[in-house]
């Protein structure tokens, strides 16, 4: 493999990871899902869907935000009925955040939108190319420099 390949991949990842790219994607995924669901609160919803009930501090570490920011965004989602707070059974002083049924439904809707957007963008690709891309991307995520075994 050439150094150019690594450079090309690093450049493409850089574009995908830009805050502006994420904000555009999140805005597209959350459009029309209510005033509490936007590019700022989407990471909280999505993170809770991945982790299950957890503290604001733990969720913050998972999604790359500080506890205070998570708490503010969780307040909006709680007021909209998309998440709830409940006492941590392991620590009576702590509070856990958890998705409500409506919160799970919103996450399911955003994931369908993301899947549809990806599928739409691949319609011009030969089926085998799309399948190869998915397989290689999964392998890169599992074995590449950002995998849990590498960090």
CB 9 within 8 A of CB 25: no
More confident residue, 20 or 84: 84
Does the pLDDT of residue 15 top 90, yes or no? no
Tell me: the pLDDT tens digits for 85-136?
A: 999 888 878 899 999 999 999 999 999 999 999 999 999 999 999 999 999 9
- Report percent pLDDT > 70 for the chain: 97
Task: Delineate the domains of the chain, giving CATH numbers in brackets.
Answer: 35-124 (1.10.10.10)
What is the Cα–Cα distance from 102 to 108, expressed in whole angstroms?
10
Structural contact between residues 59 and 97, judged by C-beta atoms closer than 8 angstroms: yes
């Amino acid at each position: 493999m050439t150094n150019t390949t690594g450079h090309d991949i690093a450049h493409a990842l850089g574009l995908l990871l830009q805050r502006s790219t994420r904000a555009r994607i999140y805005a597209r995924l959350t459009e029309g899902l209510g005033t509490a669901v936007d590019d700022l609160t989407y990471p909280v919803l999505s993170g809770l869907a991945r982790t299950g009930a957890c503290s604001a501090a733990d969720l913050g570490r998972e999604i790359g935000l500080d506890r205070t920011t998570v708490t503010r965004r969780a307040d909006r989602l709680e007021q909209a009925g998309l998440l709830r707070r409940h006492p941590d059974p392991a620590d009576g002083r702590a509070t856990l955040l958890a998705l409500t049924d409506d919160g799970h439904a919103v996450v399911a809707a955003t994931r369908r939108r993301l899947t549809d957007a990806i599928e739409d963008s691949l319609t011009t690709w030969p089926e085998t190319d799309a399948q190869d891309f998915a397989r290689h991307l999964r392998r890169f995520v599992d074995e590449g420099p950002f995998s849990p075994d590498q960090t």
